[in-house]
């Protein structure tokens, strides 16, 4: 007999949330807030909305613990989703179509479903009458998909965040195509850098000195050589993942006004993700050295320069990790600890010296973040609720 997912209230809740078009750019979060307030009312949780940046609301709903003086548990998710190319989707991306037990919709993996997992697990726990030692805060934040600087990045700096007294945070990870559940305890540092190569302008028929084309070629070669080193490391060691190496990608080239005019300046931009093993000062000094070697007056500027943030410990010194791992061991769900390849809001939390783990508890599920036809099996989603049903009380009772 076919499972009737259409009638499942948890599946319906997820699909309703997916239908809210909280898509970049220029998001109005009002509909999300209204929806989430309704969820909080159903659970009997008080709600507060903060705006550390105007029009960038952070909604916090709270399940007060029996010992509220203890550091709290934070369950974080973001409300925003990335843009879509609707013509490339099989089904409309904001319709949340359910086909043969699979839900199609932008945000179904990244990461609206995780926010609903928290809520549905807490509904089940509340129906059982369970109470928790520690307070649990659920945060629904804006703008993670554009770096989170005006969302969690600003919120963690406020007194309102400090009053939450967070002791441990859970956030998103990635679905896993294997039988292992991937948990992320660290992130690479994001550096977005633009290299500026000035030179002597003149007629395109001449071989003028102080040529910015030569300078920019030297700079590009240095960054591309570094890229090749990382590719080689991955090829030679099958145990390494993309999160273990520094990635380099050329993202923009700019300059010039006309084909027969040598410009005054050429620029090249790179997206760098620095491995957790990289010494930041040493790395920047290397770039400074390349500037001197490339020629006169070559310089650089940062559009983003994340600081080094220590990984969350996954050993006996971290009681939250022991509780987390103990839950997965109890459920006989194999874990693999990794460094997240991109960036999540956990980096802002870890920067405040708060331990944070990222997990999206879907196995045998190919990651589809930002892809056309982003999808998730309803059965996988429902199983993940039962995982949080075990995990949340364990963490909240540490």
Nearest to 346 by CA among 163, 190, 230: 190
What is the DSSP track for 79-112?
--B----GGG-SS-TTS-EEETTEEE-TTTTTTH
* pTM for the predicted model, two decimal places: 0.93
Region for residue 129 given its phi and psi (left: phi exceeds 0; alpha: psi -120 to 50; beta: otherwise)? left
Whether residue 179 contacts residue 254, with contact meaning beta carbons closer than 8 Å, is answered with no
Of 80, 110, 120, 172, which is the active-site residue? Answer: 80
316 part of the active site:
no
144 part of the active site:
yes
pLDDT digits (tens, 9 = 90+) for 139-185: 999 999 999 999 999 999 999 999 999 999 999 999 999 999 999 99
The structural domains of the chain, ordered by start, are: 5-187+311-396 (3.40.630.10), 189-275+277-305 (3.30.70.360)
Whether residue 173 contacts residue 346, with contact meaning beta carbons closer than 8 Å, is answered with no
Give CB contacts under 8 A, 24+ apart, made by 324-330: 324/183, 324/357, 324/391, 324/394, 324/395, 326/394, 327/387, 327/390, 327/391, 327/394, 328/181, 330/390
pLDDT at 1: 41
Residues of the chain with pLDDT under 70: 1-2
323: phi then psi, degrees, rounded to nearest 5? -65, -40
Cα–Cα distance measured from residue 144 to residue 78, given in angstroms and rounded to the nearest whole number: 6
Is residue 379 helix, strand or coil?
helix
- The kind and range of the H/E element at 247 are strand 247-255
pLDDT at 2: 55
pLDDT at 3: 74
What DSSP designation does 23 have?
B
Cα–Cα distance measured from residue 301 to residue 305, given in angstroms and rounded to the nearest whole number: 10
Residue 199 burial class via C-beta count within 10 angstroms: exposed 0-12, middle 13-18, buried 19 and up: buried
Of 110, 143, 144, 145, which is the active-site residue? Answer: 144
Whether residue 111 contacts residue 9, with contact meaning beta carbons closer than 8 Å, is answered with no
């Amino acid at each position: 007999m076919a499972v009737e997912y259409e009638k499942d209230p948890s599946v319906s809740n997820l699909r309703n949330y997916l239908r809210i078009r909280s898509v970049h750019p220029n998001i109005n979060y009002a509909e999300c807030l209204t929806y989430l307030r309704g969820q909080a009312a159903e659970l009997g949780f008080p709600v507060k909305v903060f705006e550390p940046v105007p029009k960038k609301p952070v909604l916090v709903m709270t399940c007060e613990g029996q010992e509220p003086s203890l550091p709290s548990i934070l369950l974080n998710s973001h409300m925003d989703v990335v843009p879509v190319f609707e013509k490339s989707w099989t089904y409309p991306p904001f319709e949340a179509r359910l086909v043969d037990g699979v839900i199609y919709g932008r945000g179904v993996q990244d990461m609206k479903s995780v926010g609903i997992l928290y809520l549905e697990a807490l509904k089940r726990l509340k129906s059982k009458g369970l109470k928790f030692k520690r307070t649990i805060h659920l945060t629904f934040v804006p703008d993670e998909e554009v770096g989170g600087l005006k969302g969690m990045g600003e919120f963690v700096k406020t007194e309102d965040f400090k009053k939450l007294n967070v002791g441990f945070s859970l956030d998103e990870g990635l679905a896993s195509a294997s039988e292992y559940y991937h948990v992320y305890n660290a992130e690479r540092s994001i550096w977005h850098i633009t290299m500026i190569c000035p030179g002597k302008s003149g007629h395109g028929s001449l071989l003028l000195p102080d040529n910015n084309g030569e300078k920019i070629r030297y700079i590009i070669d240095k960054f591309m050589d570094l890229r090749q080193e990382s590719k080689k490391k991955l090829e030679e060691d099958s145990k390494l993942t993309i999160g273990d190496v520094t990635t380099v990608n050329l993202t923009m080239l700019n300059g010039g006004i006309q084909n027969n005019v040598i410009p005054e300046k050429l620029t090249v931009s790179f997206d760098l993700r620095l491995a957790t093993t990289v010494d930041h000062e040493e790395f920047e000094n290397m770039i400074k050295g390349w500037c001197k070697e490339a020629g006169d007056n070559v310089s650089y500027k940062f559009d983003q320069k994340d600081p080094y943030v220590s990984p969350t410990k996954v050993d006996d010194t971290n009681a939250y990790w022991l509780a987390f791992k103990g839950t997965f061991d109890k459920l006989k769900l194999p874990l693999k600890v990794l460094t997240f390849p991109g960036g999540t809001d956990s980096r802002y939390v870890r920067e405040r010296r708060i331990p944070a783990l990222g997990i999206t508890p879907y196995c045998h599920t190919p990651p589809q973040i930002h892809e056309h036809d982003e999808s998730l099996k309803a059965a996988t989603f429902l199983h993940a609720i039962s995982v949080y049903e075990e995990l949340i009380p364990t963490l909240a009772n540490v």
